[in-house]
Chains A and B, each alone.
Chain A
Amino acid sequence: MVRKMFELFKNEVWRLKLWIVMPAIIYLLLNSSSIYFGEYPDSGLMIGNVHSLIFAISSVLLGLVQFHTYKKPNRWIYLINRPASTRSLCLTLLATGSVIVFFQFVIPDFIITINMDNLSPFLIEKRHYFQALYVFLISMGFYLSGVYIQLSHSRGAFLVLILPIMVMTSLLIGGPVIIISFIVMVWLLLLVLSVFKANTHNNKISILGKILAIIPFQLGLYFIIVMVLAFTFQLRLMILDGAGSEIPWNEYYDNDVYSHVEFLEGNEQLALNLLEAKNTTQDKYSDQMKNIKTYNSEPDFKLFYPSLLLPYQQKIQRLKIIDSVNEMEWTFSLDNMLYINTGHKHANQNNQLSRKSENGVITEFKTIPNVVSNNFGFQVITEQKIYSYDPDFQQLNLRFQLSENESFISGFNSSGTLMNILTTKNMYVFDTEIAKHPTKTLAPLTVIELPGAHENLTSIEIAEMMDKTLIGFLFGKLSSKGHYPAVQIVIEIDHSINEIKTLATRPLKSGFGEMYEMMNWYISPLTHWVTEYFIKPQLESDPLKPISTQPDLQLSKQLKTLVFIMVLVSVILVLVLLRKRDLTTIEKASWILLTCLSGLTGLITFLLLTDKKIHLNHK
């Protein structure tokens, strides 16, 4: 039997031989140009996306084409009449696909990496070799999706693509993609097995197959609905309201709405905030506010420590220090956990750059640091320490250190004669002139406790007035999801006496009510739960400790009522439709339970997955 399976495997490979050659050539050409431009070993997300697109298109097509053949009755009968189990047959065909994927993408990737490791000056590490594994897993994910779409009789089968797309998204946001793509591949494999078996058993899909299908169906529907709504909303704004004239985005909202304030420019945010201040304060600053220039700062990164960082993901982490003064660059080596001199004229990979201990010995970083570059120069930031790169000494100087219970969420930001840095708890203000001297550890001029949760912090506007400094905080990043309130707070600093005063607090409308239709159409508590806890766990290794100084926003009564009514209607409809479905009692109960949990998407999933009986090659 094994020999016959091998024959099937061999014939299948031979049948699809062109599928190995063509994508492999395209992939090799693409990577050759990447190498030519020096991007391959530290390829950014864009390269990663282009690659993923090739894997996606090629692999989905492979799955569709390979199994399209078996839609023909004679081919199908020829296949299933072999003296082998359906699982063996299915796995043999899938093994063919996996071998093709391996030769298409994995082998070229591996060869390129080995070559670069031995022949180029680029820093090639374990993560570069792991990239081949990712390439295999993501390609298999798309391939299996293609197979599933071909074999499934459901009209919504294409929704299964949401799973490999999620892996790609995880790549974009820095998730542990190897693990996720492996889980997704196994998931899809089980789905394909279940649907393959169903084709030989009168289209009877097992309970496991149904359960496995429900989640991608739910997610896919959710994203489609959100996109349609967003597009409709956008279209309405552009075509109907805009009527051909250019209207700033924020002008569609009242000025006390978060989305309006978020997009205000210049000093408008601060001026608006000051409207809530006392009359005397307003009078005091009204003349200055007309002309004042403000500087914006915002939390610009999150520290995270994935177990394995693919080259595609390193731009997220920003691992390079480009020393233009000495025409050299430093790349963070994940194998060594310190920077190594790479690229450019004076590359010498024996040169290492890291933290210096008191006795001058170079010590490794404990976690992967983040590199931020602005007019303050290159800053290397760990959870609690920020270093500046000194091109003169080619060393990292410790500039500022936090206590254990807070973390950096930005590098040094310049704001006139002042500089600031944001942490999960505070905003530290420094004197720019002193901060520019790179050797000394800095002492802040002023420490301002963040007047809200750092996760909810959108931006900070700093205005150095003639006599005082005003800082406007805009909170509301998470308010549309109902986590925290949207609010503007302006404080005043008198540097001469180091006095900090809150001048005005301006609550803003946000949360579900405001951007409801556009951004967060939470059709059911389940989809809400999925977006919050299913997508977010990709960042679970995020070390930031949320510190909320404001209570969470409660859902409004109207919203709760709306959600309840929608869920109720969905459940009623499912109950009505169940009468016309040929399902077991357990299956019926499961659909009712799912709809109770997921509301409208549960209803739509029910409609898509419980259609009329369909037999493979019926007739």
Chain B
Amino acid sequence: MLYIFNKHFFTMALIIYSGQVLSQKQMQNTDLTESVIAHESAPIAKAFSIQQAMNKAHIISVKISPNGNNIVYVTRKNKGVALHLLNVKSQTSKKLINSTILNAINWSTDGKILFLHGAQYLAYVDPFTDKPSPKIFYRYDNKNEESFYGVDTSQAQQVLISRKVLSKNDSTPHHLLRINTKGEETLLYSDKIKIYDHLFDQSGKLSFIRQPNKQEHVIYQINDKHKTPVYKCIVIDKCRMIKFDNNHQKLYLSGIGDYNFRSLYTYDINTKLSELIHQDPEQIADLQNLIIDEISGEILQLDYHTDRLKHYGLNEKQTSHFKHIESQLSGNISIDSNNTDNWLIIQKSSLLQHPKYYIYNKINNNITAILQQQRTIGETLHSDKLVPNIPITYEASDGMILYGYIMLPKGKKLSEVSLLTYVHGGPFGRNRGGYNPNQYLVNQGYAVFQPNFRASTGYGLDYMLAGKEKFSTRVQKDILDGIDYLINQSIGDRSKLGVFGHSFGGYSVLALLSQYPDVFVAGVATAPGTDLLKLLKTMDEKGINEYDGVPLRAALPILLADMQDEEKLAKFKSTAPHVTWNGITKPLLIWAGRKDQRISITHLRDYALKLKQAGKSIEFIEDKKVGHNPSRKDKVTPKAMLFMVTEFFNRHILNTNTNSDDEIDDYLKKYRVY
């Protein structure tokens, strides 16, 4: 038996697994009795600091070579990063280079060199020489807009670049280029419209492209630089081309197509008919990820994120490998399968602050942990300080089955703990379980509920669209239904409820506090929208594009509301938080980024001021330097935001103090308006 975790970890994994099995079979409210008993009887977790909750992993990135014999991995340094090569067989590792500008890595298709990406450069290095020396072969052209488009899998050692020529004289400014390691470029295609997806034939010739029009995504077949439209995907379906079966003239696609779930299907160019190839066998989740062998064209792996990430092959043998791995490792397992004997596995879990890495040998079905020593360099929280993120299924008051996750504090009577609800942003997004810094709140003694209310993504089209026109009403009721369900499961004290969320999550906080003022004790809304309709229209006007070039306005009637139906729109508008603000009676904290392109800072200032002038309990923090979200490199803002949430609930619900540090104190001193 593989001994991967300590005893405690294993018990927790079993709890999660039992919950999953139950939810799969019955598709009704998850019974959390065993989880509650296990958590209540466990010793109280040792405390950790906010800084520890935000610790970054020492290993940043891990990639297996196409032949499965080598792993390249990037580690964090005091300044910059270091690139290493690990031989899978001998388990020996050697450092290749240090770099202050390296952002990402990719193996070349032939696996002989590594492509290195900096913000301004493309370079490569031969990792197998004694003294690896990187060679910069391309510098992004500042005069035009250029971005890395991936390794060209049709070529041994080439990459793809997308370029937008900024000269007004160019009638076809969007270029797709192939660059070799000498920096020589080949123009593959140029057009008036940007290319968002592409497919090469076996000779490396561009055969299909996907481009947007004003309403949808169009797939074109390319013949001698002439394009012919062959297929269309709706605006919210960024369909991906997988391969083209030339013999049968079938295009393999992953997308929604004619189905409820994002699936793998084919489209016959001649007959114009679609055929389903693979869909989530549990009929819960969308197809999330797909791996294809670039040489043989064989589809190796299909991933679906239900309560956890699950993997399937198109044949039983392949699927059995995945099931074996999933049975051995808990949490969300990312598998990088290929047509070689060794697969790379990345294990992410709520009990692992930083991922663990394994090699799976297909011949002997062995899972071997790798990079264990490197992973522990730096500080990572021990799993006994963390709690599992338990997937749950519950029935909403209108009968719809909903999903979510719950984290429970250990060693406490759960019916007496404060239950906080974390509402995810979007609303077209989802919680995925796994580790997140909200573990700090659990460590402070809170239970944290993360509902995937209707309108969340990943559970099919019907699930996502079920929230249309009801974002301030039915969607909020889903959250309350989830809280009711948890309280019925003896989790949370009804008099100690709190709610917090970012972006749409913040919108939800404002809607819940104003419409259900007696439910929550306090709420924290970070970068919240106050008027979803206006917000999305503004985003559209600003050209903020989330649908691969199709204007956002094309998606609004599908996602948000029938924009022609004045009655529905009026109802929608009347329930928005900027209208219902006066209903708020409980303490509220609002955080806003001054440079937010989505949520206008003036709206939030007005909103907060209205509450303040009306004598409500409102605190307002305005970060002058941040936009909608803190940048990836910003270490202080996310930490300060977590502190704000914790401190606010500690003050209003638990009546306890919260430890801060100098950076947090400085931050709040700077940005607290009132």
Contacts and interface: CB of A to CB of B under 8 A. Distances in A.
B118 A466 contact: yes
Given A284-B133, A325-B624, A445-B79, 10 more contacts: A288-B134, A290-B183, A391-B624, A392-B670, A417-B100, A418-B100, A437-B636, A466-B101, A467-B99, A496-B82
A78 interface: no
A417 B98 CA distance: 14
Interface string B624-638: 100000000100100
A494 B98 CA distance: 8
Contact of A495 (B79, B118, B662): B79
DSSP class of A's interface residues: helix, strand, loop or mixed? Answer: loop
Interface in A492-527: 494-496
B123 interface: yes
Contacts of B663: 437
Interface stretch (B136-144, B211-219, B438-446, B524-532): B136-144
B98 A496 contact: yes
A374 interface: no
A265 interface: no
Contact of A433 (B102, B125, B633): B633
A466 B121 contact: yes
A464 interface: yes
Interface of A: 284, 287-288, 290-293, 325, 391-393, 416-418, 431, 433, 437, 439, 445, 464-469, 494-496
Given A466-B134, A467-B133, A495 B80 contact: yes
A417 B134 contact: no
9 contacts: A291-B136, A417-B100, A439-B666, A465-B136, A466-B102, A495-B98, A495-B100, A496-B77, A496-B82
A476 B298 CA distance: 64
Contacts of A433: 633
Contacts, number: 79
A292 B98 CA distance: 17
Interface string B65-107: 0000000000001111010000000000000011111100000
Contact of B101 (A392, A439, A464): A464
Given A325-B624, A417-B80, A433-B633, A287 B101 contact: no
DSSP class of B's interface residues: helix, strand, loop or mixed? Answer: mixed
B131 to A, nearest CB: 9
Most B CB within 10 A of own CB, among A464, A494, A496: A496
B547 interface: no
Nearest to B80: A495
A612 B133 CA distance: 79
A466 B82 contact: no
B198 interface: no
Interface in B178-201: 183
Nearest to B79: A495
B interface bracket (residues with beta carbon within 8 Å of A): 20 to 34
Contacts of A464: 100-101
A464 B125 CA distance: 16
A290 B123 CA distance: 12
A268 to B, nearest CB: 14
B368 interface: no
Contacts of B138: 291
B485 interface: no
Contacts of B366: none
Contacts of B125: 466
A591 B42 CA distance: 106
A586 B546 CA distance: 93
A376 B134 CA distance: 30
Given A284-B133, A496-B98, A466 B670 contact: no
Nearest to A286: B135
Contacts of A284: 133
Contacts of A445: 78-79
Contact of B136 (A466, A469, A494): A466
Contacts of B133: 284, 467
Contacts of B633: 433
B124 to A, nearest CB: 9
Most A CB within 10 A of own CB, among B99, B116, B662, B663: B99
Contacts of B102: 466
